[in-house]
């Protein structure tokens, strides 16, 4: 963690033979003492000595950031604290008008994060209360002032929009308008949360300095609801740049439509929620332009488009033709699409330039069944899919994917509290 981040975001009775008079005197003395105690102590024992103070709480707490009376604090700041012997710890943050700021404790119980960016140039007061097993509370209070609105702000965007329904292989994609330096990525990722119903284990993966994606360990469960949030407003992103605003997106996962293409059989098998719903003859890439073997997802769908490959393949091999029912799989130009000119070869021989050719009838049917993010696995071709050539998040093993996280992976963690 850097300096600007630290602004941010603890005895026996009488002997036998003693004279009766002596024993009576002892009894009388005891009786007088008891009577005196009841009168002076209110019936509960001896009164406390004058000036004695109540025992201090066993719990202790101290606010570690922001520092007391700190100035120019990033608007993304959280409240971090150190509490000892605390059974319960609460944080209250008030704005200049005395209104309570909404927020929540982090999973580690050592910090608190507001639900949104704070106002620029405003003074806030934080109070942390720690209660011990004795029921007594210790408190710590700090005031601090946020920085003025920065001139350099980084835009944060999402590929998906609110309410969108996606396939079970859809990665969550967040992009930054400026490269995030490597030593700031852990701070940014720590402000990114994913909540799914039902909960599913997953992790963020930095694809590049300007893009980060999230995928669950296994395909999303059909029918899941997913919310992802980036608390980037006012967040330091290096070299005097700060996040422009927070970002929240709610999506839904549709049915589990999965396509598997086998070069050996020249067939595509389409399943819906685990059941086969159709088998389609296909023609894949010929030997000079083979299709890629690996797991991809549908990136975009174009009911009508034009393929123009003259720049890529040259005047001898290039072509320009109208295409129907195209579904993009790679950035390199591999699609599933209708190819009426190869219907005679589909199911028997590969004649395409790397695409998955299907008939007009099957292309129309398939186009109406799929969504963006539906997974497609091609097997048995001469070329392996290159990671990065499309949304290849599922072409990587889970262990490989975890390596792209800027934060340590916590096995078993669910999206409700990402690592």
C-alpha–C-alpha distance, residues 111 and 126, integer Å: 12
The fold for domain 257-391 equals: L,D-transpeptidase catalytic domain-like (2.40.440)
Q: What are the CA-CA distances from residue 200 to residues 179, 220, 258, 333, 365 (Å)?
A: 29, 8, 19, 32, 31
pLDDT in tens, the chain (419 residues): 444 444 443 333 333 333 333 433 333 333 333 344 433 444 444 555 554 456 888 999 999 999 999 999 999 999 999 999 999 999 999 999 999 999 999 877 899 999 999 999 999 999 999 999 999 999 999 999 999 999 999 999 999 999 999 999 999 999 999 999 999 999 999 999 999 999 999 999 999 999 999 999 999 999 999 999 999 999 999 999 999 999 999 999 999 999 999 999 999 999 999 999 999 999 999 999 999 999 999 999 999 999 876 666 667 766 678 999 999 999 999 999 999 999 999 999 999 999 999 999 999 999 999 999 999 999 999 999 999 999 999 999 999 999 999 999 988 655 544 43
Residue 38 designated active-site: no
- Residues contacting 315, CB < 8 A, separation 6+: none
Beta carbons of 235 and 76 less than 8 angstroms apart? yes
Which one of 142, 205, 353, 355 is the catalytic residue? 355
CATH classification for the domain delimited by 153-255+400-417, as one of 2.60.40.10, 3.40.50.970, 3.40.640.10, 2.60.40.3710: 2.60.40.3710
| C-alpha span between 353 and 407 (Å, rounded) | 41
Catalytic hit among 142, 205, 337, 353: 337
The per-residue pLDDT for 414 is: 53
Strands (E) across 3-136 are located at 60-65, 70-73, 79-84, 88-94, 103-105, 111-114, 123-131
Using CA atoms, how far apart are residues 408 and 204, in angstroms rounded to an integer?
11
Query: Which is it for strands 257-262 and 375-379: parallel, antiparallel or unpaired?
Result: parallel
Task: Report the distance separating Cα 262 and Cα 281, nearest Å.
Answer: 10
Residue 169: name the closest of 207, 202, 132 by CA.
202
Q: Where are the beta strands (DSSP E) in 198-354?
A: 202-208, 211-216, 225-230, 242-243, 247-253, 257-262, 267-272, 275-281, 292-297, 300-308, 320-328, 335-338
Give the 3-state secondary structure of residue 25. helix
Q: Which CATH architecture has domain 58-146?
A: Sandwich (2.60)
Active site residue 337: yes
DSSP of 116-153, one letter per residue? SPPPTT-EEEEEEEEE-TTS-EEEEEEEEEEPPPPS-E
Kindly list the strands in the beta sheet with 211-216, ordered across the sheet, starting from the edge strand earlier in the chain.
156-158, 172-176, 211-216, 202-208
**58-146 and 153-255+400-417 have identical folds:** yes
Query: d(Cα 112, Cα 110) in Å, to the nearest integer?
Result: 7
Contact between 268 and 358 under an 8 Å Cβ cutoff? The reply is yes
d(CA 170, CA 388): 15
Q: If DSSP codes are grouped into helix, strand and coil, which group holds residue 49?
A: coil
Q: How far apart are CA 283 and CA 359, in angstroms?
A: 10
Q: Are strands 300-308 and 292-297 parallel, antiparallel or unpaired?
A: unpaired
Give this prediction's pTM. 0.81
Q: Which two tokens stand for residue 131?
A: 């209660």
* Whole-number Å distance between alpha carbons of 77 and 144: 10
> For residue 401, what are the contacts with CB-CB under 8 A and spacing of at least 6?
203, 205, 215, 393
Tell me the β-bridge partners of 91. Answer: 128
Task: Round to whole Å and give the CA distance between 358 and 345.
Answer: 10
Domain boundaries, given as residue ranges, for the chain: 58-146, 153-255+400-417, 257-391
Q: C-alpha 336: how far from its chain's center?
A: 32
Hey, is 185 helix, strand or coil?
Answer: helix
């Amino acid at each position: 963690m850097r300096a600007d981040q630290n602004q941010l975001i603890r005895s026996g009775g009488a002997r036998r033979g003693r004279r009766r008079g002596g024993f009576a005197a002892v009894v009388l003395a005891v009786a007088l003492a008891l009577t005196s105690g009841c009168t002076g102590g209110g019936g509960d024992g001896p009164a406390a000595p004058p000036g004695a103070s109540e025992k201090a709480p066993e719990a202790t707490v101290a606010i570690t950031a922001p520092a007391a009376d700190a100035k120019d604090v990033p608007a993304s700041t959280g409240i971090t604290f150190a509490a000892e012997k605390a059974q319960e710890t609460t944080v209250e943050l008030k704005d200049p008008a005395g209104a309570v700021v909404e927020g929540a404790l982090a999973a580690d119980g050592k910090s608190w994060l507001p639900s949104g960016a704070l106002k620029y140039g405003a003074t806030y007061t934080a109070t942390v209360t720690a209660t011990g097993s004795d029921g007594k509370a210790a408190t710590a209070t700090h005031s601090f002032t946020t920085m003025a609105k920065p001139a350099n702000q980084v835009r944060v965007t999402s590929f998906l929009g609110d309410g969108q329904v996606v396939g079970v292989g859809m990665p969550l994609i967040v992009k930054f308008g400026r490269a995030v330096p490597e030593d700031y990525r852990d701070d940014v990722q720590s402000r990114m949360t994913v909540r799914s119903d039902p909960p599913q284990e997953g992790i963020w993966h930095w694809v590049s300095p300007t893009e980060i994606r999230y995928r669950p360990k296994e395909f999303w469960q059909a029918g899941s609801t997913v919310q992802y949030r980036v608390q980037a407003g006012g967040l330091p992103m290096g070299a005097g740049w700060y996040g422009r605003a927070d970002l929240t997106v709610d999506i839904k996962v549709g049915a589990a439509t999965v396509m598997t293409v086998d070069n050996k059989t020249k067939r595509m098998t389409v399943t819906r929620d685990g059941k086969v719903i159709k088998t389609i003859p296909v023609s894949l890439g010929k030997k000079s332009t083979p299709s890629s073997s690996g797991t991809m997802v549908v990136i975009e769908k174009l009911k009508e488009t034009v393929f123009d490959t003259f720049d890529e393949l040259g005047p001898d091999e290039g072509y320009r033709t109208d295409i129907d029912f195209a579904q993009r799989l790679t950035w390199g130009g591999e699609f599933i699409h209708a190819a009426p000119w190869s219907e005679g070869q589909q199911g028997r021989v590969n004649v395409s330039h790397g695409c998955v050719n299907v008939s007009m009838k099957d292309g129309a049917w398939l186009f109406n069944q799929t969504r963006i993010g539906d997974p497609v696995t091609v097997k048995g071709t001469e070329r392996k899919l290159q990671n990065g050539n499309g949304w290849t998040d599922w072409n990587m093993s889970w262990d490989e994917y975890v390596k792209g996280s800027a934060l340590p992976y916590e096995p078993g963690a669910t999206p409700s509290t990402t690592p």
